[in-house]
Copies of this chain bind each other. A is one copy, B any other.
Amino acid sequence: MSKSSTVTLRENPVQEVISAKAGGLTIHGETIIVETDQRIELVDLTNRVMEFVRQFNIREGIVSLWSMHTTCTLFINEFQTALLTDIKRFLEQVVARDAEWMHNDPEHSDCDRMNADSHLRALLLGHSLTLQVSGGEVVLGQWQRILMAELDGPRARSLRVQLFGVS
């Protein structure tokens, strides 16, 4: 029984920027970096994603956002200081940081970040969003914001954005 985690290996690393076109369909992928300052932090990425999509001439399609990390997640909710405090408090309540998690026990785990809570909170939020693009813009309701939850910061986090559609 290994104390280590399995590493995921691609034959080639993901390209920073890549585009493909075929028969009127355009696919464009990019990696973006988000810096965080706290252990648990909620970052509003809405404007950044909306601006990313607007620069391409993709009228109808989808845009996929993917966190490249296990302890950094993406989700939709309202962006209000009071509510963000409630979300953090809820995550801290539903998964206790100081319970006796095996992932935090050197006898069973070679991870020295002691971040079992971060992994378990990530289960609840998910690591990706697949949004619609219509009329050249991301489809979102009036109060919907694209939020990133840093669950084990501070760190520099990589997100991959892939736009897929027709112009």
Contact = CB atoms under 8 A, between A and B. Distances in A.
Interface in A51-98: 54, 59-62, 64, 66-70, 75-83, 85-87, 89-90, 94-95
Contact of A69 (B125, B134, B141): B141
Contacts of A134: 14-15, 18, 29, 160, 162
A119 B15 contact: no
A69 B143 contact: yes
A127 B130 CA distance: 10
Given A68-B144, A80-B109, A130-B130, A8 B103 contact: no
A166 interface: yes
Interface residue tally on A, bucketed by range: 35 or more
Contacts of A89: 101
Given A75-B126, A166-B22, A131 B66 contact: yes
Contact of A82 (B62, B103, B122): B103
Contacts of A22: 23-25, 166-167
Interface in A131-167: 131-132, 134-135, 137-145, 158, 160, 162, 164-167
Interface of A: 1-8, 10-12, 14-15, 18-25, 27, 29, 44, 46, 50, 54, 59-62, 64, 66-70, 75-83, 85-87, 89-90, 94-95, 101-103, 105, 108-109, 111, 116, 119-120, 122-132, 134-135, 137-145, 158, 160, 162, 164-167
9 contacts: A1-B81, A14-B139, A20-B166, A22-B24, A66-B131, A68-B141, A68-B142, A85-B102, A124-B124
